[in-house]
């Protein structure tokens, strides 16, 4: 009886089908493109802001001279914080808010209350807009725990909580028109910045970035595994036959096994793409 050639005798490169070559090309492009994106995102952190609809946006940090800018899209319009020294100006679309002057003032810190220790440890700040005091009280940096409690971001000088969406803020449009809040009905039509963000930009913001190196490394590891699987899937099937069948080197896998392996390649490629895209939706703090 004539012996058949071993099924995996050809080298993996010469035995590649058009289907495999396409998948390999896609995987190589993904590895190169998302590695470049990872380096770009990690080198461009920014400030996380929450829009009126509750969605988060990343305003990317840039610096020109003594002015630091945080720019991006928020609530469907371009948004930008400009910070020079202790002065902050915010622009949303054609509306301008500020300038705000943020000063550290130890006398503005709320008094310590043993029964409600959250404000303790905060620093005292005073915020003015065009000479008018809009806030005076305690400020805690983002993510800080005080006395085993998550600190409240802003507390008035008397120890009461500050509502960062309080009506009464107004803006000036590019034409000089004053846009103000008069009733609760039109409150959400004014895109004033959160005062907490204004303060932290002067005191030292907590920056974030899209994704993390851990996520990108995991996705790249999956991509490399998929590349190896596409190249050597025949050898893997042959090894399985050698384990299950006597004289497995002369056997060939069934059509169903081959089809399942080819479908598995496609699924792994799709999973790799998903693993690369998922980190782009996450905003990770820069510690």
Using H for helix, E for strand and C for coil, what is the string for 93-137?
CCEEEEEEEEEECHHHCCCCCCCCCCCCCCEEEEEEECCEEEEEE
| Same-domain pairing of 93 and 218 | no
Task: Quickly tell me which residue has 């042959």 as its tokens.
Answer: 238
Burial class (CB in 10 A: 0-12, 13-18, 19+), 139: buried
Give the pLDDT band (50/70/90) at residue 179. very low
Residue 24's pLDDT is 92
Residue 276 clears pLDDT 90, i.e. is over it: yes
Residue 3 forms part of a structural domain: no
Residue 278 forms part of a structural domain: yes
Residue 6 forms part of a structural domain: no
Structurally, how many domains does the chain consist of?
Answer: 2
Q: Tokens for 163?
A: 């509502």
| Same-domain pairing of 119 and 177 | yes
| Same-domain pairing of 216 and 265 | yes
| Same-domain pairing of 197 and 113 | yes
Give the pLDDT band (50/70/90) at residue 98. confident
* Residues 207/285, Cβ–Cβ less than 8 Å: yes
Residue 4 forms part of a structural domain: no
CA torsion angle 227 233 273 215 (round to 10): -70
| Same-domain pairing of 185 and 230 | no
| Same-domain pairing of 149 and 99 | yes
Residue 2 forms part of a structural domain: no
Residue 53 forms part of a structural domain: yes
Residue 219 clears pLDDT 80, i.e. is over it: yes
| Same-domain pairing of 200 and 231 | no
Q: Tokens for 276?
A: 């690369």
Residue 81's pLDDT is 92
Q: How far apart are CA 152 and CA 217, in angstroms?
A: 35
CA angle 55, 280, 222 (to 5 degrees): 145
Average pLDDT estimate for 33-42: 90
- Among 156, 172, 206, the domain boundary falls at 206
CA torsion angle 254 256 258 261 (round to 10): -140
| Same-domain pairing of 184 and 75 | yes
Give the pLDDT band (50/70/90) at residue 238. low
Strand positions, DSSP E, 38-94: 46-50, 56-64, 67-74, 77-84, 87-92
Mean of all residue pLDDT scores within the chain:
76
| Same-domain pairing of 87 and 218 | no
Residue 169's pLDDT is 46
- Among 185, 206, 227, the domain boundary falls at 206
| Same-domain pairing of 137 and 236 | no
- Among 145, 178, 206, the domain boundary falls at 206
* Residues 214/287, Cβ–Cβ less than 8 Å: no
Q: What residues contact residue 169 under an 8 Å CB cut-off, 6+ apart?
A: 97, 180, 181, 190, 192
Domain range for 75 is: 47-206
Is the bond into 213 cis (omega within 30 degrees of 0)? no
| Same-domain pairing of 59 and 195 | yes
Q: How many CB atoms lie within 10 A of CB 214?
A: 10
| Same-domain pairing of 170 and 57 | yes
Residue 169 forms part of a structural domain: yes
Residue 186 clears pLDDT 70, i.e. is over it: no
Average pLDDT estimate for 214-238: 85
Residue 8 forms part of a structural domain: no
Q: How many CB atoms lie within 10 A of CB 194?
A: 15
């Amino acid at each position: 009886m004539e012996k058949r050639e071993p099924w995996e005798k050809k080298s993996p490169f010469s035995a590649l089908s058009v289907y495999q070559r396409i998948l390999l090309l896609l995987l190589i492009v993904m590895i190169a493109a998302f590695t470049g994106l990872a380096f770009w995102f990690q080198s461009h952190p920014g400030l996380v802001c929450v829009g009126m609809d509750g969605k988060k946006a990343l305003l990317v940090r840039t610096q020109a001279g003594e002015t630091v800018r945080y720019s991006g899209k928020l609530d469907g319009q371009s948004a930008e914080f400009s910070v020079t020294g202790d002065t902050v100006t915010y622009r949303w679309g054609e509306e301008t808010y500020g300038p705000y002057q943020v000063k550290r003032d130890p006398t503005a810190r709320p008094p310590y209350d043993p029964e409600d220790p959250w404000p303790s440890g905060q620093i005292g700040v005073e915020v003015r807009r065009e000479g008018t005091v809009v806030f005076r009280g305690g400020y805690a940096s983002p993510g800080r725990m005080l006395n085993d409690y998550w600190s409240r971001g802003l507390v008035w000088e008397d120890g009461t909580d500050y509502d960062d969406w309080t009506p009464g803020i107004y803006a000036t449009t590019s034409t000089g028109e004053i846009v103000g809040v008069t009733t609760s009905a039109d409150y959400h039509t004014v895109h004033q910045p959160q005062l907490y963000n204004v303060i932290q930009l002067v005191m030292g913001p907590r920056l974030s970035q899209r994704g993390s190196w851990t996520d990108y490394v995991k996705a790249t590891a999956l991509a490399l595994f998929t590349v190896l699987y596409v190249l050597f899937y025949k050898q893997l099937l042959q090894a399985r036959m050698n384990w299950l069948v006597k004289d497995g080197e002369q056997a060939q896998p069934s059509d169903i096994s081959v089809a399942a392996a080819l479908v598995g390649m496609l699924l792994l490629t799709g999973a790799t793409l998903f693993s690369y895209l998922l980190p782009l939706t996450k905003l990770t703090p820069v510690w």
